[in-house]
Structure 1
Amino acid sequence: MEGPERREKLIAILEDRKGKSISGSEIARELGVSRQIIVQDIALLRAANKNIVSTTKGYLLHRQETGIVSRCFLVRHSTEQIEDELCTIVDHGGKILDVIVRHDIYGEIRTDLIISNREDVYAFVKRVNENQTVPLKELTDGTHLHTVEASNEYILDSIEEALRAKDYLV
């Protein structure tokens, strides 16, 4: 199968998942190629403005739904409060798209999270703990941004209020 045809099938696989992630290895098996080929195809598709997101669970095609609004929240908290902060956002109806830090030397560092519910929060926190990962926020003394999506501005206002009440909002 030629590259363009394979990339079309890759997009079709991601679309069929309806916002659920799939690992590069699974895609590679399905298309009969190596995982490295999939990584290269993903890079080419991103360069062609396909909004493919890498998450801790794999790849997904992110399409902002009509009527969805987003807002960036500048927050600061301890590492022990990560779970509470993320649960606060999802419990109020938000979807956490990413985490961003602005470092004096390295500039803006951003990574996709795609956290929609408590199950996602717990899986993320578990991975951080199991891998003894230092969260990005540690580069900036706990201060970081999250881009959050919701179905309306009222929900984003509610999230902002809740983060402020917990003294997470900067």
Structure 2
Amino acid sequence: MRAEERRQAILDTLNHAGHPVSATALARQFSVSRQVVVGDVALLRAAGASISATPRGYVVLRETGGLTRQVACQHDSAGMEAELNAIVDQGCTVVDVIVDHPIYGQLTGPLQLSSRYDVGQFMARCARSDARPLSDLTGGIHLHTLSCPDEAAFQRVLSALREMSVLLEG
């Protein structure tokens, strides 16, 4: 298979997957190294493909038809799982986490967490890593971009985060 054909096949695979697909799984599928897949995805992105790397693998970002909102929160690392579960329990997806770094400016980490299962997988990955959450760089202050099915779901998220005392409000 030629490189152009492989890149198109990778994009097709991601477009039809209902879940994130790891570079390792794509490498196995196309009988190439993981590094070749990483390079292919970089070229696809440079050509305009909306591919995002999440902690669980690559996804093609799609319009959800719902509402996109942001929330500002502050908590320590111990509060991360409860905060994420509070959001997905209200039917919203945690698209990303954003912090304002004093040197680099805005840093964004894609998450794409839509369920307690997704949150559990993310937390397990955090536990296996010696890396720290982005919010540790900013005293626990961070933003989340949310994809919500409707305004009522977003309002439920705000209420849940207020109850937990992690919502930052003006």
Give the TM-score band, short-chain normalised: over 0.9
Q: CA RMSD in A?
A: 1.3
Q: Which amino acid aligns with 2:7?
A: R
- Summarize deviations over 1:29-83 as a string: whole Å, max 9, x none: 2222221111111111112221112122211212122x22111111101111111
Quote how far apart the aligned CAs of 1:151 are: 1.1
Superposition TM-score, scaled by structure 2 size: 0.92
Q: Secondary structure at the match of 2:63?
A: coil
Q: Identical aligned pairs, as a percentage?
A: 38
Alignment equivalent of 1:152, drawn from 147, 150, 153? 150
Q: Which amino acid aligns with 2:8?
A: E
Q: Which amino acid aligns with 1:153?
A: E
Q: Which amino acid aligns with 1:2?
A: R
Given the alignment of the two structures, is residue 104 of structure 1 paired with residue 98 of structure 2, yes or no? no
Whole-Å Cα distance in 2 between the matches of residues 117 and 34 of structure 1?
A: 31
| Residues 49-128 of structure 1 aligned to structure 2 (within 5 Å) | 49-65=48-64, 67-128=65-126
Q: Secondary structure at the match of 1:148?
A: strand
Structure 2 residue runs of 5 or longer lacking an equivalent are none
Structure 1 stretches of 4+ moved >4 Å: none
Contact conserved, 2:56 with 2:122, CA < 8 A, in 1? no
Whole-Å Cα distance in 2 between the matches of residues 4 and 107 of structure 1?
A: 36
Whole-Å Cα distance in 1 between the matches of residues 82 and 31 of structure 2?
A: 42
Superposition TM-score, scaled by structure 1 size: 0.92
Given the alignment of the two structures, is residue 14 of structure 1 paired with residue 32 of structure 2, yes or no? no
